[in-house]
Structure 1
Amino acid sequence: MASQTHTIYIRLRHKISGTVGQAINVKELAQVIAPSEMKERIETTCVHRIKPEDNTFVVIDAMDLIREINQLYPTSDIQTIGPSQTIIVVTMKKQKFKRVLFLLVWILLFIGSGLTIMNFHEDVAMPEVHRKIYTMVTGKVNDKPLILQIPYSIGIGIGMILFFNHIFKKRFNEEPSPLEVEMFNYEQDLDRYILFHEKQKSESKEHGNE
């Protein structure tokens, strides 16, 4: 009697994270659709164990999953859907001084952005512009037109909050900010570079072993 052929569908995730020494199973790498008696065994199958020499990124190809599943069920029909590769981002153990580092970076960015705004205002002579506007509107001369400068300063802060669409962890709406769009585009370009670079490395290793 011929063995029954089952169809297995796998959809690789685009990116996951892991730590050194962690065993990466099929369940973490992909979504699996298979008969219930096969699915659990497939999902718990180890595909890769992260080693210190893996550095920061590891790329798992769909062929790696197919090879492992085929060893378990040689007669199965394996269908892949979606991405053909998954990027594993190897994260380091939590640093003891993570909060201190975050605080130092925050202070650096705060001072840097403040200096940038002040230098810009100095270049365009913003205080002189305020004085001229005040004189044009009121007909009086005032070296410190606070009635203009205070709302202007508050407006800069509000404008930055609205631009980034965040105040701490709270979002004002679901629309992404320009910075988030740029970060998304940057991550997409970075992922494409990693996939291409890691593929070249694996191909060079294979040629070297031949």
Structure 2
Amino acid sequence: MEVEAVYLRMRHRLLASPGQTIRIKDLAQLVGPEDVIQEIGHMTVHKITVEDKTIVIIDLMKVLKAIKERFPSLDIQTVGTPQSIVEVQYKQSKITGVYFVVVWLLLFIGAALAIMNFHEDVSMQQVHQKIYYLVTGRENDYPLLLQVPYSLGLGLGMVLFFNHIFKKRFNEEPSPLEVEMFNYQQDLDQYVIMNENKENEKKAHDN
């Protein structure tokens, strides 16, 4: 009799709510006989509790153990990452208008000071004065003909650079900020997984 095979790939990350029951279908993609993967998909692996806090790491071995207890002779082929990160989302208080305005003002003032300090460091005003003199042959302490378009272009350049204006995206290409956030999230996930593995090894050693 031919042994049935099921292909399993763990998801890298998923969101869960407090008290939620995590089933295999939430954690992994399954390919195989329909009746088998339906039953496997509904198998419970973990239940979110208060002790879990905000992050739970579910290892592939825990999933395989649960499946093998139900289907001892099943041929399971695994693909991809060996852990899934479950992020527990708790209800967050809504941001008030006053809080939003305060944060916006802090960011605006901070960005403005950073730009002004940069321009002061590179003597931008003197550069504009020199360019104005080279183009027109006249000296002008306030070359607004250059400064106004430059200021508008600086703001427009920042919008194009970050590929967003409020919630509107100009194209599907990720912005540099999104790429950096993605890299940061990858590093954070790797740290969480490694730290979890160390904790498990320590518990096993203590036992």
Superposition TM-score, scaled by structure 2 size = 0.89
Residue 106 of structure 2: aligned partner: 108
Inter-CA distance 47–100: structure 2 relative to 1 (3 Å threshold): farther
1:97 equivalent among 88, 95, 98: 95
Task: Give the whole-Å Cα distance in 2 for the aligned partners of 1:85 and 1:136.
Answer: 63
Can you give the 5+ residue segments of structure 1 that lack an aligned partner in the other structure? none
2:6 equivalent among 8, 20, 23: 8
Residue 74 of structure 1: aligned partner: 72
Residue 200 of structure 1: aligned partner: 198
Inter-CA distance 98–32: structure 2 relative to 1 (3 Å threshold): farther
Can you give the 5+ residue segments of structure 2 that lack an aligned partner in the other structure? none
Percent sequence identity is: 53
Task: Give the whole-Å Cα distance in 2 for the aligned partners of 1:27 and 1:100.
Answer: 42
Residue 87 of structure 1: aligned partner: 85
Q: Residue 79 of structure 1: CA displacement?
A: 1.5
Which amino acid letter does the alignment assign opposite residue 132 of structure 2?
A: Y
Inter-CA distance 103–29: structure 2 relative to 1 (3 Å threshold): farther
Q: Residue 59 of structure 1: CA displacement?
A: 0.8
1:106-154 deviation line (CA, Å, top 9, x unaligned): 3322221111001112222322322232223222233322111110001
1:51-84 deviation line (CA, Å, top 9, x unaligned): 2222222111111111111222222112211111
Cα RMSD of the aligned pairs, angstroms, is 2.1
Which amino acid letter does the alignment assign opposite residue 28 of structure 1?
A: D
Q: Please say which of residues 194-203 and 67-76 is displaced more in the overlay.
A: 67-76
Aligned residue pair count:
207
Which amino acid letter does the alignment assign opposite residue 206 of structure 1?
A: A
Q: Residue 41 of structure 1: CA displacement?
A: 1.9
